[in-house]
Amino acid sequence: MAETGSVWYWIQLIAELGKIRIALLVTMSSFAGYVLSSGKIDHYVLVPVSGVFLLALGSGALNQYQERHLDGLMHRTTHRPIPAGKISEQKALLIGCLLLTMGAITLGVGTNLIALLLGLLTVIWYNGVYTYLKRVTALAVIPGSFIGSLPPLIGWASFQSNIFSSQPLVLALFFFIWQIPHFWLLLLNFGSEYTKAGFPSLTDILNETQLSRLTFVWIIATAVSVILLPLFGLGNSLIGRLLLFLLSILLIWRSTVLLHPVKQNSPFMRAFKSINLFILAVMVVLALDRLSILE
DSSP states of 158-193: TT---TTSHHHHHHHHHHHHHHHHHHHHHHHHHHHH
Contact 116, 107 (CB under 8 A): yes
pLDDT of residue 3 exceeding 70, the answer is: no
Q: Give yes or no: residues 180 and 123 share one domain.
A: no
pLDDT of residue 255 exceeding 70, the answer is: yes
193 lies in a domain? yes
Of the candidates 165, 177, 246, 272, the one whose C-alpha atom is nearest the C-alpha of residue 217 is: 177
Q: Which of 129, 163, 197 is the last residue of a domain?
A: 163
What percentage of the chain has pLDDT greater than the value 90? 72
What confidence category does residue 163 fall into, taking pLDDT thresholds of 50, 70 and 90?
A: very high
Domain extent for 115: 7-163
Of the candidates 136, 154, 196, 138, the one whose C-alpha atom is nearest the C-alpha of residue 49 is: 154
What confidence category does residue 262 fall into, taking pLDDT thresholds of 50, 70 and 90?
A: low
What rounded mean pLDDT belongs to the chain?
A: 91
Residue 129: other Cβ atoms inside 10 A: 16
Residue 252: other Cβ atoms inside 10 A: 17
Contact 95, 61 (CB under 8 A): yes
d(CA 143, CA 130): 7
Count of domains for the chain: 2
d(CA 51, CA 225): 28
Q: Which of 147, 163, 179 is the last residue of a domain?
A: 163
**Burial letters for 39-75: b for 16+ Cβ neighbours within 10 Å, e otherwise?**
eeeeeebebbbbbbbbbbbbbbbbbbbbbbebbebbe
Cβ-based neighbours of 6, under 8 Å, separated by 6 or more: none
Q: Give yes or no: residues 230 and 242 share one domain.
A: yes
1 lies in a domain? no
Question: Per-residue DSSP letters for 55-103?
Answer: HHHHHHHHHHHHTHHHHTT-TTTTTSTTTTTSS-HHHHHHHHHHHHHHH
pTM for this prediction: 0.93
Q: Give yes or no: residues 157 and 170 share one domain.
A: no
Residue 100: other Cβ atoms inside 10 A: 22
- 260 vs 20, higher pLDDT: 20
Q: Which of 142, 163, 184 is the last residue of a domain?
A: 163
What confidence category does residue 135 fall into, taking pLDDT thresholds of 50, 70 and 90?
A: confident
Q: Give yes or no: residues 94 and 184 share one domain.
A: no
Strand, coil or helix: 7: helix
11 lies in a domain? yes
Q: Give yes or no: residues 153 and 82 share one domain.
A: yes
Q: Give yes or no: residues 150 and 11 share one domain.
A: yes
264 CB-contact burial (10 Å; exposed 0-12 / middle 13-18 / buried 19+): exposed
